[in-house]
Each structure stands twice: as C-alpha cells, then as structure tokens.
Amino acid sequence: TQLLEQSPQFLSIQEGENLTVYCNSSSVFSSLQWYRQEPGEGPVLLVTVVTGGEVKKLKRLTFQFGDARKDSSLHITAAQPGDTGLYLCAGASNYQLIWGAGTKLIIKP
Amino acid sequence: DAGITQSPRHRVTETGTPVTLRCHQTENHRYMYWYRQDPGHGLRLIHYSYGVKDTDKGEVSDGYSVSRSKTEDFLLTLESATSSQTSVYFCAITTGTLANTGELFFGEGSRLTVL
C-alpha cells in the first residue's frame, strides 16, 4: 500500500509567521499536487509539481518537489488569516492519486 | 466553475436504508470519481468511471456501487447504509487520464449521516 504522510496534521499560528507543511513517501511519484479546501467546499488545486527539485511560487506560497520525487513541501511566508484552510497533497503513481491526510491550518489575526 | 453539482448536499438516514448520491457535470469529461473524506484519512477513492457504463473499484469500494448511464451523471449507491459510511462524499472530474492525472475539479460535497 502506497502512503503519503503529511505533517503536521494541525497547525495554529499568528498572522505574519512562516510555516512549512511536508508530504513524505517511500514511493516515487510522477507528479504531486497541492490542494486547498475551505469548510463546506471541495478541494481546489493550488499547484502541480512534476520535475524532481522543481520549485514553484504562488505569491507567498512556495512549493518544492524533492529531487527523488518522493516528497514535497509547502512553505507559506507571512501567513494571513485568508490562508486558513485544509491543505492536501496528492501524489500520482501507477495510474492513481495517493492522498495525504491533510494539514488543518489556522491563522489567527 | 467546473460545472459539477452534487445532490443531495445533506442527508440523514437510518442504518439499513438505501441511499443514492448523484453527481452531475456539464463539462462532458470522460473521467469521474467518487471519494469519501473522513478526519485523519484525507480523501479515499470509492469508485471511478472512465466512460459510459465503464466503472472500476477504488480502495474503499466495499458497500458501494456506482452507475454511469450518461456522460453527465455518475451515481453512487449505498445498498444498505451502515454507520461506518457516515462521511462527506465528493465527486470529482478531471481533464487528464488515468495515466496522467490532471487537475481534479471537485463538487461541493454531500454530507451523509447514518444513524
């Protein structure tokens, strides 16, 4: 069974702080996606990383794909209350998507 | 807006009753998926479809069946609901393929409570 371990499961920080969310696996992925989900809604894609070592930036969010394509991180700089939500990673492997359990992020004003 | 609607959005039912959740898309996409989401488990694939009358099982398919008689509709049925099937169910479509999963577009979810 392929696993994608996401950490931390829960994070509550003050506005303006930085944070990093990690997704780790022993499996190699052809690509890795990051989604954000707000209460009562479905997940929405933030980014897809494909190449080992790839770094993508989306305003204050920086996504990195590990060199071996087994892990990924999401770094948020100067977090804002609008960043609050559930962040999910999903790795593509063997014709399927493997999902992390999610990180519930709360940014306090 | 990805043109996906799920119905019902909320349902409370009793153990042993049948339940059908409907997913409707207006995008004419080939691939459709049913997931369940539970705290601590992320999203788990129940069934998926790669065309009309073409469906296959996901990792948690026991107790669920699906049907796709039209491109736009993908139905998820719980023949005899159990309390362990209390969950939030999401339908999703993709523009990708099984071999190259593109972006998934999700519906707003159907919250099912089985008493």
Question: Over the stretch A76-103, which tens digit does the pLDDT of each residue have?
Answer: 999 999 999 999 999 998 778 899 999 9
Tell me the β-bridge partners of A108. A14
Contacting residues of A for B98, CB less than 8 Å apart? 95-96
Work out how many CB contacts closer than 8 A connect A with B. 49
Residue A5 sits at the chain B interface (C-beta within 8 Å): no
CA trace torsion A44, B24, B20, B55 (10° rounding): -90
Which residue of chain A has the CA closest to B98?
A95
Q: Which residues of chain B have pLDDT under 70?
A: 1-2, 97-101
Q: Is B55 helix (H, G, I), strand (E, B) or coil?
A: strand
Peptide bond just before B8 cis, omega within 30 deg:
yes
Which residue of chain B has the CA closest to A45?
B103
The total of other beta-carbon atoms located within 10 Å of residue B62's CB is 8
Q: State the nearest Cα–Cα gap between B70 and chain A, in angstroms.
A: 23
CB contact under 8 A, B42 and A101: yes
* pLDDT score at A99: 93
* pLDDT score at A3: 86
